[in-house]
Amino acid sequence: MVKAIVVREYGGPEVMKLEDVAPGDPAPGEARVRHAAIGLNFVDVYNRTGLYKTPLPFTPGAEGAGTVVSVGAGVTHVKPGDRVAYFGPQGSYAEERIIAADRLVKIPDAIDFKTAAAMTLKGLTVQFLLRQTFPVKKGDTILFHAAAGGVGLIAGQWASHLGATVIGTVGSEDKAKLAKAHGYHHVINYKTENFVERVAEITGGRKCDVVYDSVGRDTYPGSLDCIRPMGMWVLFGQSSGVIQNFEMNILAQKGSLFTTRPTLFVYAAKREALEKMAAELIDVVQKGIVKIEVKQEFPLAKAVEAHRALEGRETQGASVLLP
């Protein structure tokens, strides 16, 4: 038996309970992983509240890092003792878990488990956003909401390295300082400034080539007013709530804009895609182009407190749970 967080009903953080569970043995194509660190992500909130209808009961969490304990038949790319990280289906808020082995990525010894747990889902998200959804190139101007979050801090460094002018939005002066230290050329405090007006000022009225938006309701439709004609709005989350009453015609009215609602699970669905994305992420981290900083650590048993901090926007950068 191992300790794991279990959700038996949708709701607030308090629905998460620490229980004894039996992970079982890996079936063909699976592996059992002993966690050393577990990633904390806003998507975990979506699952806990029922915004994403994960069948009950379930163990939340889609990211972790640790050591392979055992593997099922047919698994050849990882073996017991390997250091691995992953993002995948719910189940990481546990001391150990079973997971499809094709979701596991080997991590080099130079990257510690906390870093691996903090960078995998977030870093792969940044990879597909900046390198695939809208391939950022030198001379582009981008706006990234929630710049001081775990995804935002990685994105600022990576986009700056790619040669873009990087604008970010944050909710406090402390977060503004953090974003500026992680690649952002301009940071807007949306609590004291109108981000649409500031973007127009910063860009001399040209606006941005792309807006990356994980906030949703609170930044809509303002995000669209920050995009140049035929630019792109990449909506990849909704931390403030789901956007209501969206109509396609608004994209025409705002300048023949493009929009997409991408997810990491689709971009990395194939093993070969995951390996390519992970290799690029590991490369920029090992070269120091992107620095991963774990700003908050919580014991697994205090997952409730971790979620309250996350939803209250009290966290900066990456957070991890420790079994």
Looking at per-residue pLDDT, the higher value among 259 and 237 belongs to 259
Note the pLDDT tens digit of each residue in 84-130: 999 999 999 999 999 999 999 999 999 999 999 999 999 999 999 99
pLDDT band at 314 (very low <50, low <70, confident <90, very high): confident
Mean confidence (pLDDT) of the chain: 96
Query: What ranges do the domains of the chain cover?
Result: 2-120+285-322, 137-261
Note the pLDDT tens digit of each residue in 244-292: 889 999 999 999 999 999 999 999 999 999 999 999 999 999 999 999 9
| Secondary structure (H, E, C), the chain | CEEEEEECCCCCHHHEEEEEECCCCCCCCEEEEEEEEEEECHHHHHHHHCCCCCCCCECCCCEEEEEEEEECCCCCCCCCCCEEEEECCCCCCECEEEEEHHHEEECCCCCCHHHHHHHHHHHHHHHHHHHHHCCCCCCCEEEECCCCEHHHHHHHHHHHHCCCEEEEEECCHHHHHHHHCCCCCEEEECCCCCHHHHHHHHCCCCCEEEEEECCCHHHCCHHHHHEEEEEEEEECCCCCCCCCCCCCHHHHHCCCCEEECCCHHHHCCCHHHHHHHHHHHHHHHHCCCCCCCEEEEEEHHHHHHHHHHHHCCCCCEEEEEEC
> What's the pLDDT at 57?
97
CATH of domain 2-120+285-322: 3.90.180.10
137-261: CATH, from 3.40.190.10, 3.40.50.300, 3.40.50.620, 3.40.50.720: 3.40.50.720
pLDDT band at 316 (very low <50, low <70, confident <90, very high): confident
pLDDT band at 240 (very low <50, low <70, confident <90, very high): confident
> What's the pLDDT at 317?
79
**pTM of structure:** 0.92
> What's the pLDDT at 111?
97
> What's the pLDDT at 60?
98
Note the pLDDT tens digit of each residue in 165-220: 999 999 999 999 999 999 999 999 999 999 999 999 999 999 999 999 999 999 99
